[in-house]
């Protein structure tokens, strides 16, 4: 018997369109920027990456309009999202979506819209994304402390999302440094990005032990949340990308010996962090494999397979540039293949879910658990 799909008009409702949908923009934009970071230059690749970036820009504009409609028409639901400890951390995705598209404008989008327009677009998106990212990094932990009342056993990698947004600013901000007048403006922007790097890194170091302890002591995550284990790769790969970007632009921007220090930091920080990223990638993959065998179905959390892996591609590529070792350029290419495959799976699952009306549907009725059966002995005691 074939079950009829929901009417196609149903998914057009924005009442249940949460901030997690910005992950589609992030995951699409990183396919373009990560591909541009690879040392390998295949024929036609640059044009394909530019097309993917245009798609990410279109998705961003559509979602910005839809989310504005969500706040205008369904303010009660929007406030409920902010007060929901499972949804509020996704507000960091808005900032990261803006930053990812802005960074892509200068890496591959310039081939489509020109350098001048790319600089203007990236300036606007970087400024807005950084401001929103800092706001989310403060507001979401504040709400978790005073309104959400979360328990340690509820910790998931989703909690990292608002804290990673400033790290994305740190990684893409150096792209704008050469576009500024020489002297103080360039140095100021570079050091601001370095401050954002430290802010996000220290906050992540505070949060990550809670997530790891929950995983070890509380058992595997629920099946639908298991893909979010890949979110841990985000701050690891993005921070490695950031220190590599600092080293790229530091010469001539900051005086010696700080310029050389950024170059040393790119290697001395990036190598061990990418080593831990490899460990976590294997651990997360094992958990996802287990969840898949236990019946894990597609959900929007599958977009966790895209952006974090993309940051590891750019991080490994940065290490390849600064060490000259194939040990990093090779894995960067391999991870990019994984990224493209994961993006294709996530896109396919999202389109199917939209057509069937499942992804934008509200929560269904809570099933009532049957009362446990009891047995009585001859003496009337309940077993």
Share of the chain above pLDDT 70, in %: 91
Tell me whether residue 381 is in a domain: no
Chain segment 14-34, per-residue pLDDT in tens = 788 889 999 999 999 999 999
Tell me whether residue 166 is in a domain: yes
Q: List b or e across 320-347, with b for residues whose CB sees 16 or more CB atoms inside 10 angstroms.
A: bbbeeeeebbebbeebbebbbebbeebb
Distance of CA 141 to the CA centre of its chain: 18
CA dist 211 and 216 (Å) reads 9
- pTM confidence score: 0.89
CB 102, CB 126: distance < 8 Å: yes
Tell me whether residue 327 is in a domain: yes
| Secondary structure letter of residue 362 according to DSSP | P
Taking the CB of residue 247, how many other CB atoms lie within 10 A of it?
Answer: 23
Cβ neighbors of 373 (< 8 A, separation 6 or more) are none
CB 208, CB 138: distance < 8 Å: no
Give the relative orientation of helices 307-323 and 22-37 as an angle to the nearest 10 degrees.
20
Tell me whether residue 276 is in a domain: yes
Q: Reduced to 3 states, what is the DSSP secondary structure of residue 133?
A: helix
Helical segments of 229-370, H only: 233-249, 258-293, 307-323, 326-356
Chain segment 166-192, per-residue pLDDT in tens = 999 999 999 999 999 999 999 999 999
Task: Name the burial class of residue 381, with classes exposed (0-12), middle (13-18) and buried (19+) by CB atoms within 10 angstroms of its CB.
Answer: exposed
| Secondary structure letter of residue 4 according to DSSP | P
Tell me whether residue 372 is in a domain: no
Give the DSSP H/E element, type plus range, for residue 30: helix 22-37
Taking the CB of residue 142, how many other CB atoms lie within 10 A of it?
Answer: 11
Q: Reduced to 3 states, what is the DSSP secondary structure of residue 376?
A: strand
Distance of CA 93 to the CA centre of its chain: 7
Of 135, 265, 140, 136, the closest CA to residue 198 belongs to: 265
Tell me whether residue 373 is in a domain: no
Tell me whether residue 377 is in a domain: no
Tell me whether residue 239 is in a domain: yes
- Kindly list the distances between the CA atom of residue 249 and the CA atoms of 47, 165, 171, 238, 266, in Å, as whole numbers in the listed order: 26, 21, 12, 17, 12
Which residues on neighbouring strands pair with residue 254, listed in sequence order? 251
CB 96, CB 23: distance < 8 Å: no
Chain segment 318-331, per-residue pLDDT in tens = 999 999 999 999 99
Q: Which residue has the tokens 């494999």?
A: 289
Q: Reduced to 3 states, what is the DSSP secondary structure of residue 255?
A: coil
Q: What is the CATH number of the domain that holds 20?
A: 1.50.10.150
Per-residue pLDDT of the chain (383 residues; tens, 9 = 90+): 334 444 444 445 778 888 999 999 999 999 999 999 998 778 888 999 999 999 999 999 999 999 998 888 888 888 888 888 889 999 999 999 999 999 999 999 999 999 999 999 999 999 999 999 999 999 999 998 888 888 877 889 999 999 999 999 999 999 999 999 999 999 999 999 999 999 999 999 999 999 999 999 888 999 999 999 999 999 999 999 999 999 999 999 999 899 999 999 999 999 999 999 999 999 999 999 999 999 999 999 999 999 999 999 999 999 999 999 999 999 999 999 999 999 999 999 999 999 888 888 765 443 333 444 443 333 333 33
Average pLDDT, the chain: 89
Structural domain count, the chain: 1
Which residue range(s) make up the domain with 187? 10-355
Report residue 130 as tokens: 């950084």
Half-sphere CA count of 172, side-chain side, radius 13 A: 33
Cβ neighbors of 215 (< 8 A, separation 6 or more) are 221, 229
């Amino acid at each position: 018997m074939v079950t009829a799909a929901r009417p196609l008009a149903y998914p057009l409702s924005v009442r249940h369109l949460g901030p997690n949908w910005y992950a589609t923009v992030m995951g699409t934009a990183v396919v373009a920027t990560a591909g541009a970071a690879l040392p390998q230059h295949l024929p036609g690749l640059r044009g394909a990456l530019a097309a993917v970036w245009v798609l990410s820009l279109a998705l961003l504009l559509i979602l910005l309009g839809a989310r504005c409609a969500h706040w205008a028409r369904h303010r009660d639901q929007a406030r409920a999202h902010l007060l929901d400890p499972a949804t509020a951390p996704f507000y960091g995705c808005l900032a990261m979506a803006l930053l990812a598209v802005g960074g892509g404008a200068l890496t591959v989008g310039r081939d489509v819209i020109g350098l001048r327009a790319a600089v203007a677009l990236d300036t606007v998106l970087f400024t807005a994304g950084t401001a929103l990212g800092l706001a989310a990094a403060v507001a979401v932990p504040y709400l978790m402390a005073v309104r959400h009342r979360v328990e340690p056993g509820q910790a998931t990698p989703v909690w990292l999302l608002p804290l990673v947004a400033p790290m994305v600013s740190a990684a893409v901000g150096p792209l704008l440094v050469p576009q500024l007048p020489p002297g103080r403006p360039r140095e100021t922007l570079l050091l601001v990005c370095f401050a954002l790097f430290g802010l996000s890194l220290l906050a992540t170091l505070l949060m990550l032990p809670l997530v790891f302890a929950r995983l070890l002591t509380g058992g595997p995550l629920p099946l639908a949340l298991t893909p979010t284990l890949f979110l841990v790769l985000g701050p690891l790969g993005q921070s490695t990308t950031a220190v590599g970007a600092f080293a790229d632009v530091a010469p001539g921007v900051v005086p010696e010996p700080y310029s050389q220090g950024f170059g040393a930091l790119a290697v001395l920080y990036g190598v061990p962090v990418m080593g831990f990223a490899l460990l976590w990638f294997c651990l997360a993959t094992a958990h996802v494999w287990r969840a898949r065998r236990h019946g894990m179905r597609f959900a929007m959390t599958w977009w966790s397979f895209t952006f974090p892996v993309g940051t590891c591609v750019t991080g490994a590529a940065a290490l390849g540039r600064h060490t000259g070792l194939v040990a990093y350029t090779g894995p960067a290419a391999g991870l990019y293949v994984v990224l493209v495959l994961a993006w294709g799976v996530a896109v396919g699952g999202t389109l199917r879910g939209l057509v069937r009306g499942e992804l934008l549907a509200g929560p269904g009725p809570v099933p009532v658990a049957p009362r446990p059966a009891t047995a009585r002995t001859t003496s009337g005691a309940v077993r």
